[in-house]
Amino acid sequence: MSVTTLNEFIIQRQADFPYAKGELTRLLTHIGVAAKVVNREVNKAGLVDILGDAGTDNVQGERQKKLDIYADEKFIASLKASGECCGIASEEDQNIVTFDEDLPRQGKYILSMDPLDGSSNIDVNVSIGTIFSIFRRVSPVGHKASMEDFLQEGTKQVAAGYIIYGSSTMMVYTTGRGVNGFTLDPSIGEFCLSHPDIITPHSGIIYSINEGNYIKFPEGVKKYIKYCQEKDIPTGRPYTSRYIGSLVADFHRNLLKGGIFIYPKTAGYSSGKLRLLYECNPMAFVIEQAGGKGTDGRGNRIMDLKPESLHQRVPFYVGSRNMINKAEEFMTEFGDQEPDIKDFQ
């Protein structure tokens, strides 16, 4: 049986871009290499003393795990070495990462990433992931990358995707011509095309939301959850509730099976929790390319939002298109105002 490796596939697809000179190809290839290195460490995590807090906080004020830092460093090093990437924004770094050397400054692309999403799940052996989003730079080639390179609307993404370190390790990405998934074959150390042209069902029977926050949700979300739990044979309700607490894993399952993932506003967090640049935009690009939708729950397409800051958060509704449309009907009818935080103090 013939297999198509990630590298072969990337090179084949280069022909899709008439003016491409192989730069994006090289960049994606380097992401695949870094993913394999991080995968090796994630797999070893239970065996070596690499678990636990590294003793520093990241810009979100959250405790960093050692593997977060490791993944951050590996991806930055690999992207820099590719010579195609002039700057990086990462969940783990307060400011954009730029380079003094001439080679990366000649790069035409920038990349935003969450190097290890869901890292609070590492010690309990639950799937985690890397999320990435690639743009063409707008600043002049040969100079350092600038903030305006990173604050572009998601519609301008040239590629985006994720790596899931799960029961098997996969890379799923899009360059705007559909979505393809590659599974790492550890025996040959290559990502192999396993999920060509992924299409997500228009409707599903899974809803994913942290229901522990129920009383802190806007009324529209509460009513939608009740709708998901009601019996209605034609629409497959009651739906199944599935929530891992690892965006990549929750998203990946819903992408393949059909479903809706919501991280809404909650009392005290008027923009929700997830980050626009390196969590929501790339996932929105993937889901749209698979036939689904990614919105802020108020009818606004995630990829149309104009980013204002690097670590900006946004309410996130993503998944099967009919389910997103239904959830938004509830938001319109019952409101998307989160309860006052004072009620919880």
Binding site for ligand AHM (CB under 6 A): 62, 91, 114, 117-120, 210, 245-247, 273
> Measured from the CB of residue 24, what is the shortest distance to ligand AHM in angstroms?
26
Which of ligand AHM, Mg ion, none has residue 68 at its interface (CB below 5 to 8 Å by kind)? none
Closer CB to ligand AHM, residue 104 or residue 297? 297
> Measured from the CB of residue 78, what is the shortest distance to ligand AHM in angstroms?
20
> Measured from the CB of residue 40, what is the shortest distance to Mg ion in angstroms?
21
Which of Mg ion, ligand AHM, none has residue 210 at its interface (CB below 5 to 8 Å by kind)? ligand AHM
Give the pairing type, strands 260-263 and 206-208.
parallel
Residue nearest to Mg ion (CB): 117
Closer CB to Mg ion, residue 72 or residue 114? 114
Closer CB to Mg ion, residue 228 or residue 318? 318
Which of ligand AHM, Mg ion, none has residue 338 at its interface (CB below 5 to 8 Å by kind)? none
Closer CB to Mg ion, residue 32 or residue 118? 118
Closer CB to ligand AHM, residue 9 or residue 316? 316
> Measured from the CB of residue 193, what is the shortest distance to ligand AHM in angstroms?
26
> Measured from the CB of residue 62, what is the shortest distance to Mg ion in angstroms?
9
63 Cβ contact partners less than 8 Å away, ≥ 6 residues apart: 53, 57
> Measured from the CB of residue 91, what is the shortest distance to Mg ion in angstroms?
5
Q: Using CB under 5 A, list all residues that contact Mg ion.
A: 114, 117
Closer CB to Mg ion, residue 129 or residue 258? 129
| Measured distance CA(86)–CA(110) in Å, rounded | 6
Closer CB to ligand AHM, residue 6 or residue 274? 274
